[in-house]
Structure 1
Amino acid sequence: MKYLILIILVVLSFSSISAHEGGHGIPLKQWELATNKLFKADFIKYENDEVWLLDSDHTIRIFQISDFSDEDQKYIKNKSEYIHSLNTNTTIESGSQSFSSYNGALIGLGIFLLCFSLFKLIKQKKSIYLIHGVLGLGVVLIVSCKDTSIPKTGRREVPSNDVSLMQTYFGKFEGVTTRSDENYLYVSSNGLPDHDMMVGITNWQQQVPINQDYTGDNSWAIPIHPKMAEHPLSTKTNLLKGAIAVAVNGIPIFNPLNNRGEDANAIGELDNWGGHCGRADDYHYHLPPLHLQDQVGTGNPVAYAVDGFPVYGETTDTLDAYLGKTNPDGSYQYHTIKEYPYFIAGMRGEVQLDPKTKAPENQVYPQPRTQELRPALRPLRGAKIIDFKSLGENSYALTYSLDSKEYTINYGWNSAGTYTYEFINPDGTSTVETYKPRQK
Structure 2
Amino acid sequence: MTSVEKAGFADTVTVTCEDDRAIISSDTYPAHELMTGIVGTNEQVPLPAKKYDAPIPLKPVLGDTPQTRDAALGVAVNGVPIFDYTGGGEMTEKDLHHHQTEHDTLLTQQLDICGGHAGRGDDYHYHMKPVCMIAQMENAGNDAIIGWAFDGFPIYGDNNPDGTPVVEGMLDVCNGQTDQTYGYRYHTSEDAPYIIQCLMGEVGDLRELPRTAPLTSAATGQTVEPGQPPAGGVENLIFTQDKNGSRSMDYRYHGEDYYIRYSPSGTEDCYNFETKTVTNDGEIRTGEFCR
Structure 2 CA distance for aligned equivalents of residues 402 and 353 of structure 1 = 43
What are the residue-to-residue correspondences of 1:76-115 with 2, within 5 Å?
A: none
Q: Quote the residue 1:263 is aligned against.
A: 104
Give the count of matched residue pairs.
255
Q: What letter corresponds to residue 306 of structure 1 in structure 2? A: F
Distance 1:422 1:369, change over 3 A: closer
1:284 aligns with 2:136: no
- Structural RMSD (CA): 2.5
What are the residue-to-residue correspondences of 1:208-247 with 2, within 5 Å?
A: 208-215=45-52, 219-233=53-67, 238-239=68-69, 241-247=70-76
Q: Quote the residue 2:37 is aligned against.
A: 200
Q: What letter corresponds to residue 288 of structure 2 in structure 1? A: Y
1:307 aligns with 2:151: yes
1:327: how far off?
3.8
The answer to which structure has the higher helix fraction is 1
What are the residue-to-residue correspondences of 1:13-412 with 2, within 5 Å?
A: 163=1, 165-169=2-6, 171-172=8-9, 174-215=11-52, 219-233=53-67, 238-239=68-69, 241-258=70-87, 259-261=89-91, 262-294=103-135, 295=137, 296-299=139-142, 300-315=144-159, 316-318=165-167, 319-321=170-172, 322-329=174-181, 331-354=183-206, 365-373=208-216, 374-381=224-231, 382-412=233-263
Structure 1 CA distance for aligned equivalents of residues 214 and 195 of structure 2 = 28
Structure 2 CA distance for aligned equivalents of residues 420 and 221 of structure 1 = 32
Output the TM-score relative to the length of structure 2.
Answer: 0.78
Structure 1 CA distance for aligned equivalents of residues 56 and 253 of structure 2 = 41
The answer to which structure has the higher strand fraction is 2
Residues 84, 197 of structure 2: 8 Å contact kept:
no
Distance 1:323 1:332, change over 3 A: same
Structure 2 CA distance for aligned equivalents of residues 434 and 345 of structure 1 = 36
Residues 170, 250 of structure 1: 8 Å contact kept:
no
Residues 39, 237 of structure 2: 8 Å contact kept:
no
1:228: how far off?
1.1
Aligned residue for 1:168, secondary structure, equals helix
Structure 2 CA distance for aligned equivalents of residues 172 and 409 of structure 1 = 29
1:212: how far off?
0.5
Aligned residue for 2:242, secondary structure, equals strand
Query: Which runs of no fewer than 5 residues in structure 1 stay unpaired?
Result: 1-162, 355-363
Residues 421, 434 of structure 1: 8 Å contact kept:
yes
Residues 229, 348 of structure 1: 8 Å contact kept:
yes
The one-character-per-residue Cα deviations of 1:376-423 (angstroms, maximum 9, x if unpaired) are 332233323521111222211211111234333321113413311223
1:242: how far off?
1.0
Residues 386, 401 of structure 1: 8 Å contact kept:
yes
Distance 1:170 1:351, change over 3 A: farther
Distance 1:178 1:384, change over 3 A: farther
Residues 116, 127 of structure 2: 8 Å contact kept:
yes
Considering Cα pairs closer than 8 Å and 6+ residues apart, tell me whether 1 or 2 has the greater RCO: 2
Structure 2 CA distance for aligned equivalents of residues 378 and 346 of structure 1 = 26
Structure 2 CA distance for aligned equivalents of residues 317 and 264 of structure 1 = 24
1:187: how far off?
1.4
Structure 1 CA distance for aligned equivalents of residues 283 and 200 of structure 2 = 50
Aligned residue for 2:226, secondary structure, equals coil
Structure 1 CA distance for aligned equivalents of residues 112 and 199 of structure 2 = 25
Query: Which runs of no fewer than 5 residues in structure 2 stay unpaired?
Result: 92-102, 160-164, 217-223
Residues 391, 397 of structure 1: 8 Å contact kept:
no
Aligned residue for 1:243, secondary structure, equals coil
Distance 1:313 1:437, change over 3 A: closer
Distance 1:395 1:244, change over 3 A: same
Residues 82, 127 of structure 2: 8 Å contact kept:
yes
Distance 1:419 1:227, change over 3 A: same
1:420 aligns with 2:272: yes
Tell which deviates more after alignment, 193-202 or 376-385.
376-385
